Structure formats: C-alpha cells, structure tokens
Amino acid sequence: MPTVTARAGLAVASALLAAVALAPTARADATSTGSPTATATPSATATPSSTATPSSTATPSATATPSPTGTGIPTSTDPSPTTSAPGTPTAPSTVAPDPRASARLLAPPAGSGTTQQARDAADFVARTLAAGGHHYVWPGTTYLDGGNTVDAILALDGAGVGQSEAAAALAYLEAHLGDYIGTGGETYAGPTAKALLAVVAQGANPHDVGGTDLVSTLTGLEAASGRFSDVSAYGDFSNTIGQSLAVIALVRATGSVSDRAVAFLGSLQCPDGGFRIDPDASTCDSDPDATAFAVQALLALRSPTLDAPAAAAAGLDYLTGIQGATGGIASAAGPANANTTGVAAQAFAAGGRSAALARAQGFLEGLQYGCTWRPPLRGGIAFSPAERAATGAIGPGDSDLRATPQAALGLLGGTLATVSSEGAVSGTTAMVCAAPPTSSTAVPTASDVAVVDPGSLAYTGAPVGAPLLLGLVLVLAGVGAVVGGTVLGRRGAHR
C-alpha cells in the first residue's frame, strides 16, 4: 500500500500523463480517457507553474477560436440549431441530447468481418483484464491505470460480450475510484468524465459509485467559462479530450449539459476544422485525437449556442483529409496507429462517413494478431506495424493492452455516445483457429513490418514504451519534490 505522499504523486502523474485516454490509446492521459491511449500528446501543452491554480474564468485566445466551417450533417427535414459565435458563453441553460445521434451509429460494412474481429479483440481484452486482477496498470508499476481500464469496459460493452469481466473491472474501478479521479482535495476532470461514461454504459447508478456522486462531482468542476477543470494544487491539466468526454458523459447521464460547456468546446476548433488538444495554447494546432473525441461530443447534442452539426462536419472533413492510403490516421506526434485510428473510426461512425470508416477498419484489421501468432496474443491489436513486429515475438506488450480496447470499438463502428452493455452476454469466445501455429514463437514476415501509411506524420514520440515509463519513474522519484510544489512536465493521452 503506497504512502499518502506516493498516492498524491501517482495521482498527479496520472493527471500529467493523462491529459489525453482514452480511447484511448497507447497514449497515457490524466484526464479522461484514461486511456493512456497509445497516442502522444502534442508538446504544445505548456508545463503548468507550480503555483498555478485552475482559473475559473480562463478562456482561449481570441485567435484560437475561429468559427467552424463545413456543411451540416442533418437532412433537410432536421431543424437547424440557432448559431452564435463559438466561445461566447451564454446564460446557464441546458442542451437536450440529439435524438438523431443513435441513428448515426453505423453497422460494420457488409462482408468486412469486423464484427467477428472485434469479438476476437474483446476476448483478448477480457483475458488480459482478468490476468491483471480485473484492471490494467501503468507500465512497470502496480498502480491502477483507470483510463485504460475504462476503455476495456467500453470495448466489451461495444462487442456485446464479456460482461462478467466488464462488471468485475467496474467493481474494481469503483473500489479504487480515488486512485483514478483524485483524492485528498485533488479531483481531475478528464478521469471523472471517463469514469462516469463507463458507469452509464454499464447501466449502473452514476449518483452512487462507491459512495461518490460522479454527476455532481463532474458538474462541480465546470468553471464559469464552461471548461471542466482540474482541482489540484499542482495545476490544471484538463484538455479538449476531457471536455469532450464530460459533454458526452453528462448528456448520457442526465440528458443535458450547459450551453457554456458546449460553447467552450466549440471555441477549441481551429480554422482547418480540427480541434486543438490544449485549451491554453497560444496557437491553434489541430490534434487528430482531440478532434475525434470532439466530433463525437458535438454529434451527441443539439445546441442553441453552436451549430454542432456544422462544427462536427468540419472536424470530420479534417480527419478524412489526414487519413492515409492504408486507412490509418497518425497522432500529432507519431505514426499512423490503432488508437488514433480507432477513435477516428468512432467519429466516422457517428457522422455517417461510411467510406472513411471502412478504410479505418481495414487498417485496424491489419494490425490484429491472428492464428499465426502465439495464443496469448491472438485477438489483440498492435499499436502500429512497427510495434506489432517488435512485441509480437514476446507479447502481449503494454502497447497491445492500450491499443486493443479503443481499436475494438472502432472496428465495430461503435461510438462513445451510444456504447452500452444492454443485451451483452457474460462470456467471450476465443479466436477459432484451424490448426496450432507451427512454432512457439511467430516470426514477423516482411509484410508485417513494411506497412507504411503514406499519410503518416513524422514519428517523434513512442506511444507508451520508454518515454512513458521514464516519465513515471521520474515522477515517482520526485514525488517529494512534486508535493513540495516542484514543476513537472506533462504528457497527455486519452486518459
């Protein structure tokens, strides 16, 4: 059992590394997603001052709040929402959920095989969750990685299987909620939103999660600007992914979210249609992961302060514009990968972009470990072609554990606004293979390592590997300094 100081350090580390999860993702995030998804957060996020505290009135720079462009997704029979300048808060009111959102959930393309492949991925998720005591941990530690655990729960819900393990994982998260969303005066907006989303998807009571009312906790983190901000002595690490998750989770849990929260999300859109990851950045540089989450949030509601369908359409145009020839989408600081492509696939499904969805699913299918790989790997989805070649002989590796959950939901054409455990069965089924592999260790072929996505951005950061582990070691080693107010850098993920 770690000391109070160690727990505080870990909570901060989670927030620092989590500013991006989830889903996803081989990136680590201290916000919501808990996914340390395998995606890396852009360096644009400034290191918070040790004396900085969350500002209840912080708003993005005027130069970073362009009006979204693009055409709306609704048909001509859909009423058009009233528009106003993005980023302009209005008097607190509520935004009703858009009943058309569920209608935008697409079935996998006929004959693609994605349903079975997603269930194979779900079997991998259930096996690895159970092996880890019904939860995932940060690399090289025994500490709960709540974001990645939530991604796993959502993957099982989306696949409609593995509910015994999903329930066990949610129970573990509930029993250790403070280790994820913060404790002792520390509360992180992203993880709180992501935990709420998991509870709602599982059909549990969001007002009593181990004695915590996640709805009131999350709404209590909303600043006057509409931003869902961290309450922390170490600074505010909240970001666009956490804002998007908060909008989605509250719409699903309560049926509404404040207009100012929606307006703040809209203010984070860049001129090219994408969304920046860091609300405090001085420039507006679009981030693929942040855009995928924001689009799903926008398509889950109808707002009188923002033309959400038009903003979402512009975001989808941005994502399709950066999709590579193989269907993959690169993170802001890495290669085309399963996490970023997985959450983008969720956005494509929500927005009805069936062609882009099919291409993304094809990329994800190509990263799955099949029957030629050792049994422990089968069903899992590698973070990238390079990671698949590197970890395939010894895995499953940490990047496989982070990539598979978000990719599985993308394979199904599922979305965060609609994923649910309703109708799901308790168990999973192992991948069916005609014959055992010819050797105990599969050797990657040239085709396994030569898949290069022409649309990939420059690879400047590993998904989780050494940098993330080093970051954790440095944070843990400097816990005393952190508690004393030392400035720590942060790295985001879908967490």
Domain extents in the chain = 4-73+84-483
Whole-Å CA distances, 142 to 21, 132, 208, 329, 414? 19, 10, 26, 32, 31
Tell me the helix, strand and coil percentages in the chain, rounded to 5.
45, 5, 50
Peptide bond before residue 396 is cis, with ω within 30 degrees of 0: yes
Q: What is the pLDDT of residue 70?
A: 31
H-state helical runs in 287-422: 288-298, 308-321, 338-351, 354-366, 385-391, 398-412
Contact 412, 155 (CB under 8 A): no
Tell me the residue length of the chain: 495
Instruction: Give the pLDDT of residue 146.
Output: 97
CB-facing half-sphere around the CA of 156: CA atoms within 13 A:
31
DSSP class of 106: P
Residue 495 has a pLDDT of 61
H or E element at residue 262: helix 259-266
| Fold of the CATH domain 4-73+84-483 | Glycosyltransferase (1.50.10)
pTM: 0.72
Q: What pLDDT shows up at residue 81? A: 32
In tens digits, the chain (495 residues) has pLDDT values of 443 334 444 444 444 444 433 333 333 333 333 333 333 333 333 333 333 333 333 333 333 333 333 323 232 233 333 333 333 333 334 444 443 333 232 333 333 346 889 999 999 999 999 999 999 999 999 999 999 999 999 999 999 999 999 999 999 999 999 999 999 999 999 999 999 999 999 999 999 999 999 999 999 999 999 999 999 999 999 999 999 999 999 999 999 999 999 999 999 999 999 999 999 999 999 999 999 999 999 998 876 668 889 999 999 999 999 999 999 999 998 899 999 999 999 999 999 999 999 999 999 999 999 999 999 999 999 999 988 887 766 778 899 999 999 999 999 999 999 999 999 999 999 999 986 555 444 444 433 333 333 333 332 233 333 333 334 434 343 333 333 333 323 333 466
